[in-house]
Amino acid sequence: MAKIAPSLLSADFWQLSRQMEALEGAADYLHLDVMDGCFVPNISFGPLLISSLRLHSKLFFDVHLMVQNPDPFLESFRLAGADSLTVHAEACPHLHRTVQKIKALGAAAGVAVCPATPLSVLEEILPELDMVLIMSVNPGFGGQKFIPSALEKAVKLRQMINERGLAAAIEIDGGITMENAALAAKSGVDILVSGAALFGTRDLAAAVREMKALASSAT
Ligand code: DX5
Ligand code: ZN
């Protein structure tokens, strides 16, 4: 069954505790977008916010690090409560070392690829990964338009993973809505990140459930 990972980036921070409570029973993961103003042209939040949410939430914390050279920060995000740490292939000069560091910290290890990055960068590292994140927008902002070629990438990646008998889950991130959720799941995606399309609704928990049902019916 497909998993839904609402992206906190689109939350109304004035209403954060109410929105977190709504997600608690409905969502599978909480997607936390960390932006450094260097790898991506935006700055979001860091370990402080994550550790304060961790005190109150049982959700799986799926931390997406849009950070250039993230190695020095991995431990603080793990200590803050990250269950998985996903780094960008484009931001890590020694990706294998970074992935080993994440695993040594006891977190699930993910690698993200931007829309223009080919899947071939994952060929050697794929057996080491718990998750691959396919970006379906250029990272940096919520509420952008879905880039359809991400679906072909997901199909190809699903084939690579299955042919090699590997276990990595596929996550898709950016522009996921009620309209394309089923298509993403059909393309082999296991985890759907969604921000604007969920937080823009009146009933957040109902929207998460609806997206989960749409995605699950497609597989
Ligand atoms: C973009 C972030 C996404 C974003 C998704 O850089 O990585 O997680 O918040 O939000 P929507 O669904 O609004 O594109
Ligand atoms: Zn993200």
Q: Is 110 touching ligand 1 by the criterion CB < 6 Å? A: no
Backbone angles phi, psi at 189, to 5 degrees: -80, 135
Ligand 1 centroid vs 20 CA: distance in angstroms? 17
d(CA 66, CA 69): 9
Ligand 1 centroid vs 140 CA: distance in angstroms? 8
Is 112:64 a contact under the CB 8 Å cutoff? yes
Active-site choice (62, 130, 173, 190): 173
Any idea which ligand is nearest the CA of 9?
Answer: 1
Catalytic residue at 173? yes
Q: Is 6 touching ligand 1 by the criterion CB < 6 Å? A: no
- Give residue 104's pLDDT: 98
Give 135-187 pLDDT, tens digit per residue: 999 999 999 999 999 999 999 999 999 999 999 999 999 999 999 999 999 99
d(CA 76, CA 59): 19
| Helical spans, DSSP H, in 63-191 | 74-80, 95-104, 149-163, 181-186
Q: Which atom of ligand 1 is nearest to the CA of 194?
A: 12
Is 106:78 a contact under the CB 8 Å cutoff? yes
Catalytic residue at 203? no
Token code pair at residue 90? 């484009």
pLDDT by 10s per residue, the chain, length 219: 999 999 999 999 999 999 999 999 999 999 999 999 999 999 999 999 999 999 999 999 999 999 999 999 999 999 999 999 999 999 999 999 999 999 999 999 999 999 999 999 999 999 999 999 999 999 999 999 999 999 999 999 999 999 999 999 999 999 999 999 999 999 999 999 999 999 999 999 999 999 999 999 988
Give 14-24 pLDDT, tens digit per residue: 999 999 999 99
Active-site choice (28, 33, 36, 190): 33
Ligand 1 centroid vs 217 CA: distance in angstroms? 23
- Give residue 219's pLDDT: 82
d(CA 79, CA 74): 9
Is 85:107 a contact under the CB 8 Å cutoff? yes
